[in-house]
Amino acid sequence: MKKQLSSILTFAIVVGLFTAPALADHRFIANQNRKLCRFDADGKLEWSMEIGGSPHDLHQLPSGNILTHQNTELIEIDPKSKQIVWKFDAKKLCKKKKVEVHALQPIENDRIMVAVSGEGKIFEIDRDGTVQFELQLKIDHPHPHRDTRLVRRLDDGQYLVAQEGDGFVRQYGRDGKVTWEYDVPMFGRDATKGHGPEAFGDAVFSAIRLPNGNTLIGTGNGHSILEVTPEKEVVWKVTQNDLPGITLAWVTTLEIHENGNIILGNCHAGPDHPQLIEIDREKNVIWKFKDFENLGNAVSNSQIIDAKGKVLR
């Protein structure tokens, strides 16, 4: 009987009557408003901590510590002790009173890049707050909440900036000049207010320069990912309903892994849809994560922390 049952199960799996359970996938960190969380590869919460503000950017450092921010204060957290081991308030860099931070990045020599909306500048600072470099952004529609979302320094020292309020991705040289820019398209649609899947706009959240010179863009409330050439031609895209059974809302963070797969953040999509999704270039869903108990509808940032090989994010 056991032998017969084993044969039946083997046949069923081969012909696809049963789908084998998904293997453990990714360990990652993510935030939900003021709550930081770390999940194991089985999707179970292994660590969490409340902080004093809702971050839009975070990085796990080589030490295992987490670099993020609470409002304008840059912080480094030791997850073992749940203690803030370093902090610096970016307001000290600014002349304007109303400013916000939506992007930061560890760079060489233990320095930090921070982009300050409202001030409209990017700063490279030492840990004591000494400014080693600053860059004034071109901003058409200045607003302390919308000047920037994610900002990333390129290998040559230039900056790729998602400028939410302008609906542009801009690249800046070290001299502050715009060396490339892309007006995120509306595809003939009118802008509609809100944060959920029904809203629409060009409030771009992220941009990553690919090895082939193209730029991968997370369009925020454009509900899409666009790959754009230097000549500004869209050569690949994922739109709101391209992924079976999944609706995209505010597309936030992007990660490109060594195998070419893309992990994207899907914020404000509601409890019926995953907050993190991994896809391949054929738009197959490889992995997805949904947890509306420990996280929720405002997961603005994440990082896979068990990735193999080089990751672009």
Query: Same domain, yes or no, for 63 and 110?
Result: yes
- List phi, psi (to 5°) of 129: 95, 0
Which of 122, 150, 182 finishes a domain? 182
Q: Give yes or no for residue 275 having a pLDDT over 70.
A: yes
User: Percent of the chain at pLDDT above 70?
Assistant: 92
Q: Which of 118, 223, 220, 239 is nearest to 169 (CA)?
A: 220
Query: Same domain, yes or no, for 173 and 265?
Result: no
Domain presence at residue 70: yes
Which of 163, 182, 201 finishes a domain? 182
Per-residue pLDDT tens over the stretch 26-77: 999 999 999 999 999 999 999 999 999 999 999 999 999 999 999 999 999 9
Q: Which of 88, 119, 27, 32 is nearest to 306 (CA)?
A: 27
Domain extent, residue 132, equals 56-182
SS3 170: strand
pLDDT value of residue 9:
33
Which of 129, 149, 182 finishes a domain? 182
CA angle 301, 82, 61 (to 5 degrees): 50
Integer Rg of the chain from CA = 20
What span, in angstroms and rounded, lies between the C-alpha atoms of 313 and 310?
10
Q: How many domains does the chain have?
A: 2
pLDDT value of residue 112:
98
- List phi, psi (to 5°) of 283: 70, 25
Query: Same domain, yes or no, for 188 and 277?
Result: yes
What span, in angstroms and rounded, lies between the C-alpha atoms of 133 and 147?
19
Domain presence at residue 35: no
Domain presence at residue 10: no
pTM of the model: 0.91
Domain presence at residue 118: yes
pLDDT value of residue 20:
33
Q: Give yes or no for residue 14 having a pLDDT over 70.
A: no
Per-residue pLDDT tens over the stretch 141-152: 999 999 999 999
